Amino acid sequence: MAVSKIYSAQATLLSAQIIDLEVDLSRGLHSFSIVGLGDKSVDEAKDRVSSAIKNSGWKSPKNKNQKVVVSLAPADVKER
């Protein structure tokens, strides 16, 4: 899975952790999955991404009946 890959960082007080994000967008029944996180932050992230797409003026993948899978690595980094 690597249709699109970007790098980001999670900053802490004295350092930063590099985060790899891979996004796969394909045809199929609408779904949005985030892999690499295992707690409530997944649900919160889905809401934030949905809101960002809506407010950016882009068409939602839901309208196009697309499946979106977002992979975050390393998976053990917790949101702060």
- pLDDT score, position 57: 83
User: Token pair of 20, please?
Assistant: 């790899």
pLDDT score, position 50: 78
What is the chain's percent helix, strand, coil content, to nearest 5?
Answer: 20, 40, 40
Q: List the chain domain ranges.
A: 1-37
Position of tokens 């779904």?
31
Planar angle of CA 45, 77, 56, nearest 5 degrees: 30
Highest-pLDDT range among 21-30, 33-42, 45-54: 21-30
Give one DSSP letter per residue of 6-44, joined into a string.
Answer: EEEEEE-SS-EEEEEEEEEEEESS-EEEEES--SHHHHH
Backbone angles phi, psi at 45, to 5 degrees: -65, -40
Average pLDDT, the chain: 80
pLDDT at position 1 over 50: no
Mean pLDDT of 43-66: 80
